Amino acid sequence: MKTMKLVIPTLILSILLGGCSTLENDHQGTSSTKKEQEKHYENNFISVQKYTGQGYSLDGGEENDKIAEAHRAEVVKAAEQFFLKKYKTKVKVHNLVGNRDGVTVFVESVGEPHFYTYAVVPIEQDKIVGSETFSQEDQVEGAIRSGIYAMIYANEIHNLDDYLKQITSKYPVVGKTSAAVANVGGNDYSTPYYYITILDTAINVDVVKIYLKHPEWTKDDWQKRLLKATLDPEQVWITIQLYMKESDRKPDRALFNEVVSDVEVMKSLPPGAYSILLHDNRIGKDSATGSKTNSLERGDPDEIIKR
């Protein structure tokens, strides 16, 4: 065999060596691409336990982000006055994020009804235009509805909270940090584990209109007022999102199935259409979402309806 190898023509040997070189280059290219992908992943995703909203961004908002921070007190004042005047609600400002036309201000209501939402303070020619502050259509109204809903169904909300706390203490799963919910949430009634969105036709009474007349109403007041009101649970969207606790774990199918099964059979939960998602440990810095190709989901059009 050694003799045969020695008589291999030089041309063939060159071709073989060239082929080896090509294969080596291809391997280096693949390795390089993999490293780039890993670097991109590290730069754009972070462990959910460490995420507080850092890196969150909106299209075209880089310059306005800087302007807003330079005039933070003015922006905060404009947002607080907007919510107090238009929605009779005192709010706490958590975060400012520049957008193409101004700055998005993420806030949390003070007291009840409790909710998270946002407003937009315009910026024109590098100046804050606080008098033109606005909210997107039905954004704040939806948040108010979800907060009132949580007051009315306080006992059922407590049951849901207790269940999710048990799951996260029993299994290696977590929710978002409270800071992430506050800083980049803007999602109605929210906790680290879920948020509730209520369509304007879900309740046959205009609760926002009533709230603007009676912003001081307590849970008892609302329960008495809405005693005969009807609610369509299919228009109340309750989205549960959990994350794997460990950084190298993929979403656990058995655990996911258990949560789905539990929600299906549990009694005394808030009425609504439940979607359940289980993500790996990483969350997108700029998007504040954990949804990826490996996420497990039970949702539209197959939500779990609790009446």
- In 178-235, the DSSP E strands lie at 189-190, 194-198
Cβ atoms 108, 94 nearer than 8 A: yes
User: What letter represents residue 39's amino acid?
Assistant: K
- Indicate if 122 and 157 belong to the same structural domain: no
- Indicate if 128 and 164 belong to the same structural domain: no
Asked whether residue 53 is assigned to any structural domain, the reply reads no
- Indicate if 144 and 252 belong to the same structural domain: yes
End-to-end CA distance of the chain: 80
pLDDT at 166: 98
pLDDT at 43: 82
- Indicate if 151 and 300 belong to the same structural domain: yes
pLDDT above 70: residue 25: no
Q: What is the CATH number of the domain that holds 104?
A: 3.10.450
Last residue of a domain, one of 75, 107, 135: 135
- In the chain, the DSSP E strands lie at 45-47, 91-98, 102-109, 116-124, 127-128, 173-174, 189-190, 194-198, 236-244, 272-279, 282-284, 296-298, 304-306
- Percent of the chain surpassing pLDDT 70: 88
Cβ atoms 104, 96 nearer than 8 A: yes
pLDDT in tens, 168-208: 999 999 999 999 999 998 899 999 999 999 999 999 999 99
d(CA 175, CA 161): 12
- Indicate if 262 and 151 belong to the same structural domain: yes
The domain containing residue 108 runs over which residues?
62-135
What is the domain count for the chain? 2
Cβ atoms 91, 77 nearer than 8 A: no
Give the DSSP letter of residue 101. S
Cα 158 versus chain centre, distance: 21
Angle made by CA atoms 193, 91, 140, in degrees to the nearest 5: 70
Greater confidence (245 vs 32) lies with 245
- Percent of the chain surpassing pLDDT 90: 85
pLDDT above 90: residue 155: yes
- Indicate if 161 and 283 belong to the same structural domain: yes
- Indicate if 245 and 131 belong to the same structural domain: no
